């Protein structure tokens, strides 16, 4: 849920002192926002969220859920997602609109659950998987919060659930700024502007007004598409016209397009979800990426690739060709804080056909650079808004037909897994006085893509959330263990490269150095040991510690 920027920093004054109402009588959904509504079926809920674990303040009086309700009530006006609900167009001729809900029932939206004994992490994750399986009520604002007690750790679990039509990762920044604080003492915010009784929004806008809004919005969307044609043609020309590397000459050609190999994860799904988490050291992952000349994102992709290779090998289902990841990319302009969706999807080879983790990581670094180049070429022509007349009933019908016919079981997949990496804050944050210790994302799976791996960096750690269709991956905890093993394998490979580099600089022969595998003893935690930087002095007494599945 909390897709926060790496430098969370001081709260903007516009957020802290928000005295202006965000109330909008009627706001049209963009084409991309509405797509998440049209794609939704009972088997494919289109909400996202997160699982947090919180340390309660010592001075807490009463139940924490009451503190959360008061906290949200005081800050609902800071983020429109809390108070806007859907109003459908007559006959579904166009996308719905957002309207204000002046009577939000916090007892419905914020609920408490007590885990049965012993209150383990596995129980908490299983409960989140079940909650993530059910649809949100479209007659209300599209969000729900759950407060868990009864954990053996003594902490509080906090699960958020928000429809993807309401916000993307960047839109979640606005939501996080509204609810989270930098200190245990919540900051003061200005109260919302009071509306007169006669100014309250009606339950549904008049039909005539909605039809006028649909026609007006369609005209605006068509105009934007026409104006974007010249830019689009330039971008297409840049993709089709490629450099052949000989004297700077350019030739015509199309990017190579191919399907991904078939795996058990590429099938029709049910509405049942399973969820697991894993937590790794951010410093270790950054150092691994640097060792191979890559980035943090490359290290994340390599961990997922290694885990998938291990998991599918254990199930005798590893294809000979490389798996392909669908990777969300942001289309949002810098400084844009609109709480809508401005995102698209790109494809990236995972090099899962490489048994050697070093060769796999190097191949991923190259594939990542290729994907980034493609994104820079086509980003300007990827639409986030488009005409919607007739789209709702047409798209919803096609999606229902696709699911019921089980075409995903027969068609070759475009990708095998969705992998998303969201940068987050480097410092601890607080919710209603409680310190947030984890930030595990909970995302979306679809027909043909039964596994989604999303990672959020937070306070020196990488928090992985893995959501899957229960029928396609009932043993998601086993996959979480494969993630731990893949991280250890990658870290060990990086240590070996560093050791070889140090031997070259010092002139010590390999026979005189203790093998890296003997040096790499298992570890209990995941936030201290760091891969040495290039050129650093050897530190044979430092033993890498095993990352742990949460």
Instruction: Look up 487 and say whether it is catalytic.
Output: no
For residue 216, give every residue at least 6 positions away whose Cβ sits within 8 Å of its Cβ, in sequence order, or none.
none
Q: Per the omega criterion (within 30 degrees of 0), is the bond before 228 cis?
A: no
Cis peptide before 375 (omega within 30 of 0): no
Question: From CA 141, how far away is CA 335, in angstroms rounded?
Answer: 26
d(CA 55, CA 430): 9
Residue 416: exposed, middle, or buried by beta-carbon count in 10 A (0-12, 13-18, 19+)? buried
d(CA 509, CA 532): 19
* Residue in the block written with tokens 């190999």: 261
Phi first, then psi, for residue 394 (nearest 5°) are -70, -50
Of residues 167, 135, 125, 127, the one with CA closest to residue 463? 125
Q: What is the largest CA-CA distance in the chain?
A: 85
Phi and psi dihedrals of 183, rounded to 5? -135, 160
Q: How far apart are CA 404 and CA 221, in angstroms?
A: 32
Cβ contact 436:237 at 8 Å: no
Q: Which of 331, 342, 329, 307 is nearest to 416 (CA)?
A: 307
The β-bridge partners of 48 are 162
Which of 164, 195, 198, 501 is catalytic? The answer is: 164
Cβ count near 543 (within 10 Å): 12
Identify which of 422, 465, 461 has the alpha carbon closest to the alpha carbon of residue 547: 461
Count of residues in the chain? 550
Q: Which residue has the tokens 């020196």?
A: 460
Q: DSSP 3-state assignment of 304?
A: helix
d(CA 329, CA 509): 45
The half-sphere exposure of 547 on its side-chain side, counting CA atoms within 13 A, is 29
∠ CA 90-92-98, nearest 5°, is 80
Comparing CA positions, the residue from 488, 448, 483, 445 lying closest to residue 463 is: 483
Are 67 and 293 contacting, i.e. CB atoms less than 8 angstroms apart?
A: no
Using alpha carbons only, how large is the chain's radius of gyration in Å? Answer: 25
Positions marked catalytic: 164
């Amino acid at each position: 849920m909390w897709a926060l920027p790496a430098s969370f920093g001081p709260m903007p004054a516009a957020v802290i002192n928000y005295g202006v109402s965000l109330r909008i009588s009627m706001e049209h959904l963009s084409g991309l926002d509405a797509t998440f509504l049209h794609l939704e079926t009972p088997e494919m809920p289109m909400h996202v969220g997160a699982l947090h674990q919180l340390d309660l303040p010592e001075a807490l009086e009463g139940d924490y859920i009451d503190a959360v309700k008061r906290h949200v009530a005081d800050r609902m006006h800071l983020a429109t997602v809390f108070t806007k609900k859907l109003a459908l167009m007559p006959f579904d001729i166009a996308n719905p609109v957002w309207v204000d809900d002046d009577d939000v029932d916090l007892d419905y939206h914020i609920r408490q659950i007590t885990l049965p004994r012993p209150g383990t992490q596995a129980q908490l994750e299983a409960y989140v998987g079940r909650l993530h399986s059910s649809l949100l009520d479209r007659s209300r604002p599209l969000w729900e919060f759950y407060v868990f007690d009864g954990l053996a750790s003594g902490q509080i679990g906090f699960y958020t659930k928000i429809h993807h039509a309401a916000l993307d990762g960047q839109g979640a920044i606005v939501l996080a700024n509204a609810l989270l604080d930098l200190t245990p003492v919540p900051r003061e915010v200005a109260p919302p502007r009071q509306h007169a009784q006669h100014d309250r929004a009606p339950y549904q806008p008049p039909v005539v007004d909605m039809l006028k809004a649909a026609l007006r919005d369609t005209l605006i969307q068509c105009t934007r598409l026409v104006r974007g044609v010249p830019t689009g043609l330039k971008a297409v020309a840049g993709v089709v016209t490629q450099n052949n590397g000989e004297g700077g000459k350019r030739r015509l050609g199309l990017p190579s397009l191919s399907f991904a190999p078939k795996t058990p994860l590429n099938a029709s799904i049910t509405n049942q979800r399973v969820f697991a988490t894993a937590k790794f050291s951010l410093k270790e992952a950054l150092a691994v990426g640097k060792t191979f000349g890559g980035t943090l994102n490359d290290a994340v992709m390599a961990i997922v690739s290694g885990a998938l290779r291990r998991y599918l090998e254990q199930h005798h289902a590893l294809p000979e060709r490389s798996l392909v990841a669908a990777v969300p990319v942001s289309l949002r302009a810098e400084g844009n804080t609109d709480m809508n969706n401005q995102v698209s999807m790109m494809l990236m080879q995972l090099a899962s056909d490489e048994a050697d983790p070093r060769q796999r990581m190097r191949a991923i670094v190259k594939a990542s650079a290729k994907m980034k180049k493609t994104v820079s070429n086509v980003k300007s022509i990827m639409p986030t808004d488009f005409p919607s007349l007739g789209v709702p009933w047409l798209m919803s019908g096609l999606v229902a037909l696709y699911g019921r016919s089980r075409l995903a079981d027969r068609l070759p997949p475009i990708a095998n897994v969705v992998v998303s990496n969201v940068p987050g804050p480097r410092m601890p944050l607080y919710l209603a006085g409680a310190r947030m210790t984890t930030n595990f994302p909970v995302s979306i799976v679809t027909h043909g893509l039964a596994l989604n791996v999303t990672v959020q960096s937070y306070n020196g750690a990488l928090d992985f959330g893995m959501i899957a269709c229960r029928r396609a991956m009932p043993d998601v905890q086993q996959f979480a263990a494969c993630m731990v093993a893949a991280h250890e394998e990658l870290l060990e490979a990086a240590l070996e490269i560093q050791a070889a580099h140090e031997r070259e600089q010092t002139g010590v022969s390999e026979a005189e150095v203790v093998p890296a595998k003997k040096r790499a003893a298992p570890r209990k935690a995941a936030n201290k040991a760091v891969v040495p930087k290039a050129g650093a002095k050897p530190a044979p007494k430092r033993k890498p510690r095993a990352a742990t599945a949460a």
